């Protein structure tokens, strides 16, 4: 079943325009083992077993090898039902070697983390806007220069906590803003997702 | 004759510059910890070393500004300029994140501008070598200092907020480079916020297992799906958010069985009540 058919089914379900659907109408996307296990509660002081972070150092089909920033090694299984964020919700093939990630899921008995949610290269920075150009912002993060690229159709701004809009023309030079974005590995550049500004 | 006067005028600029930089070092010696000094001379000696440099700058500045005219003062200024240049190059290589510590409290790391400023200081001091009279008798040659001072200002990251930021602000007020980004498209962040505030989300939040998995637009709606579990079964929660929704009550949701495609849960009353 294609993602289009799937979306059509979900569209009808959300709007209540459909009753029961035949059992064969939708193929299973979830590996049974991954989500049969229930979430474990971490021991006090111990690392959360259902969470992992680090750099992707290897990828074998949908099994990621991740080197944690604390030195721990993680194996993370992506599945058809894993949510993947990389600047926007995207597909599991976007997880590449060299990317950084945060993953949350269910630890399987063999030590593999079956990921339910993965955030790739996500950064959350308090910065000052140094200058504004046609393609993005030059930012200052505690003295370090960061280039923030505007992505048409994705980058949005939240002014004073009001709903996000695509209009970035109210951003001002010299102001502090908070940005959520996707880091471009090996650079000081990020693609901007959301900019929170107070005017 | 004029060259003589230009040379004679230089100590005035060097003196004022050193007074400014020494003031920052003497009044805020704790800034030393942000520089490369702790690595160069040790953490304990960084603050005394920083303060000593400030004191040397102050003494030399006063000597340059006041009579008599001694070549030794100029030679000391050259030595200081060379020392600063060497130190800054060392800092940029050894501790790239260290602040310059040159003047004021700017947290900016050492950059090409700071090094260029130290070189300019050295060159200015070298230009004063041939002076045989004091800056107070330099006459109209003193006006050249305005151009030199401007060069020092341009090379000082500490002063950017007084001229560079206002200039950039003015430019953006005249014509904002991102003025073309306004559109009627609803950003996902706006949909997400409305969704999180909705009764529909409250009704199913216990079933959700993932972040946003997929989203798409159709007609006047945006649809957002999440991986979910319902009654122990793998499922998908799909939200429908009207593009023109004014209130979160307009958001609808259904939980759909992952394998059969059946709608397992649909808090329809919520949308009617809204």
A119 touches B: beta carbon within 8 Å: yes
Identify the CATH number of the domain in which residue A126 sits: 2.40.50.140
How is B203-265 classified by DSSP, letter by letter?
HHGGGEEEEEEEEEEETTEEEEEEEEEETTEEEEEEEEEETT--SGGG-EEEEEETTT--EEE
Do A108 and A128 belong to one domain? Answer: no
Buried b (16+ CB within 10 A) or exposed e, A132-153: beeebbbbbeebeebbbbbbee
Domain count, chain B: 2
**Sign of the dihedral through C-alpha B92, B94, B99, B104:** negative
| Residue where the block lists tokens 């379900």 | A13
Mean pLDDT over each residue of chain B, to the nearest integer: 86
A1 touches B: beta carbon within 8 Å: no
CA distances from residue B138 to B10, B52, B73, B121 in whole angstroms, order as listed: 9, 32, 18, 19
Q: In the prediction, which pLDDT does B105 show?
A: 64
Structure tokens at B42: 């040790």
- Residue A141 structural domain: 122-197
Residue A32: pLDDT over 70: no
| Secondary structure class of A194 (helix, strand, coil) | strand
Strands B221-230 and B208-218: antiparallel
Instruction: Confirm if B33 and B47 have CB atoms less than 8 A apart.
Output: yes
C-alpha–C-alpha distance, residues A54 and A76, integer Å: 11
Structure tokens at B271: 């949308």
Instruction: Confirm if A95 and A147 have CB atoms less than 8 A apart.
Output: no
Residue B181 lies inside a defined structural domain of this protein? no
Instruction: Confirm if B50 and B35 have CB atoms less than 8 A apart.
Output: yes
Write out residues in chain B with pLDDT < 70, as ranges: 104-107, 268-274
Chain A positions touching B165 (Cβ under 8 A) are 173-174
Which chain A residue lies closest to B222 (C-alpha atoms)? A11
**A35: confidence class by pLDDT, cuts 50, 70, 90:** very low
Verify whether the Cβ–Cβ distance A173 to B221 is below 8 Å.
no
CB atoms within 10 A of CB B140: 10
Chain A positions touching B187 (Cβ under 8 A) are 154, 156, 164-166, 194
Residue A31: pLDDT over 80: no
Verify whether the Cβ–Cβ distance B169 to A174 is below 8 Å.
yes
| Residue of B165, B181, B183, B215 to mutate, interface with A, max A Cβ within 10 Å | B181
**How far does the CA of residue A117 sit from the closest CA of chain B (Å)?**
5
C-alpha–C-alpha distance, residues A52 and A95, integer Å: 15
pTM over 0.80: no
Q: In the prediction, which pLDDT does B268 show?
A: 60
- Residue B253 structural domain: 189-273
| Residue of B99, B177, B203 to mutate, interface with A, max A Cβ within 10 Å | B177
Mean pLDDT over each residue of chain A, to the nearest integer: 85
Residue B183 lies inside a defined structural domain of this protein? no
Given B185, B211, B261, which is nearest A9 (Cβ)?
B261
Do B254 and B122 belong to one domain? Answer: no
Q: What percentage of chain A's residues is helix, strand, coil (to nearest 5)?
A: 10, 45, 45
Backbone angles phi, psi at A106, to 5 degrees: -125, 125
pLDDT tens-place string over residues B194-234: 999 998 999 898 899 999 999 999 989 999 999 999 888 89
Q: What is the ipTM score, two decimals?
A: 0.84
Q: In the prediction, which pLDDT does A77 show?
A: 95
Domain count, chain A: 2
**How far does the CA of residue B45 sit from the closest CA of chain A (Å)?**
25
């Amino acid at each position: 079943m294609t993602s289009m058919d799937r979306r059509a089914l979900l569209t009808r379900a959300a709007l209540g325009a459909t009753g029961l659907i035949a059992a064969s109408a939708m193929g299973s996307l979830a590996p049974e083992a991954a989500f049969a296990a229930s979430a474990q509660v971490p021991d006090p002081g111990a690392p959360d077993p259902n969470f992992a972070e680090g750099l992707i150092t290897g990828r074998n089909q949908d099994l990621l090898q991740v080197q944690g920033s604390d030195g721990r090694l993680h194996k993370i299984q992506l599945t058809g039902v894993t949510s993947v964020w990389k600047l926007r919700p995207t597909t599991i093939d976007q997880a590449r070697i060299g990317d950084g990630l945060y993953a949350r899921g269910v630890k399987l008995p063999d030590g593999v983390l079956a990921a339910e949610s993965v955030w790739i290269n996500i950064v959350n920075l308090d910065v000052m806007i140094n200058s504004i150009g046609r393609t993005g912002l030059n930012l200052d993060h505690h003295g370090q220069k960061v280039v923030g690229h505007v992505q048409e159709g994705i980058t949005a701004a939240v002014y004073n906590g009001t709903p996000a809009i695509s209009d970035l023309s109210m951003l001002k030079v010299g102001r502090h803003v908070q940005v959520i974005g996707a880091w471009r590995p090996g650079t000081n550049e990020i693609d901007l997702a959301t900019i929170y500004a107070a005017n | 004759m004029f060259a003589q006067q230009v040379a004679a005028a230089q100590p005035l600029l060097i003196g004022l510059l050193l007074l400014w930089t020494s003031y920052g070092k003497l009044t805020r010696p704790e800034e030393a910890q942000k520089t490369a000094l702790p690595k160069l001379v040790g953490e304990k000696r960084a603050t005394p070393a920083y303060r000593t440099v400030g004191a040397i700058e102050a003494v030399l500045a006063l000597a340059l500004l006041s009579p008599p005219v001694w070549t030794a003062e100029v030679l000391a200024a050259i030595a200081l300029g060379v020392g600063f240049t060497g130190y800054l190059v060392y800092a940029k290589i050894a501790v790239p994140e260290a602040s310059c510590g040159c003047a004021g409290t700017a947290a900016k790391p050492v950059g090409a501008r700071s090094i260029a400023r130290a070189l300019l200081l050295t060159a200015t001091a070298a230009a004063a070598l041939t002076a045989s009279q004091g800056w107070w008798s330099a006459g109209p040659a003193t006006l050249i200092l305005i151009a030199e001072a401007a060069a020092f200002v341009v090379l000082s990251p500490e002063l950017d907020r007084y001229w560079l930021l206002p200039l950039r602000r003015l430019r953006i007020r005249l014509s904002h480079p991102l003025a073309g980004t306004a559109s009627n498209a609803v950003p996902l962040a706006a949909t997400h916020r409305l969704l999180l505030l909705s009764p529909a989300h409250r009704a199913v939040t216990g079933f959700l297992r993932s972040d946003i998995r997929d989203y798409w637009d159709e007609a006047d709606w945006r649809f957002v799906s999440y991986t979910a579990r319902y009654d122990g079964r793998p499922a998908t929660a799909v939200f429908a958010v009207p593009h023109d929704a004014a209130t979160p009550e307009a958001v609808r949701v259904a939980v759909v069985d992952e394998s059969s495609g059946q709608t397992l849960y649909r808090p329809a009353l919520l949308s009617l009540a809204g």
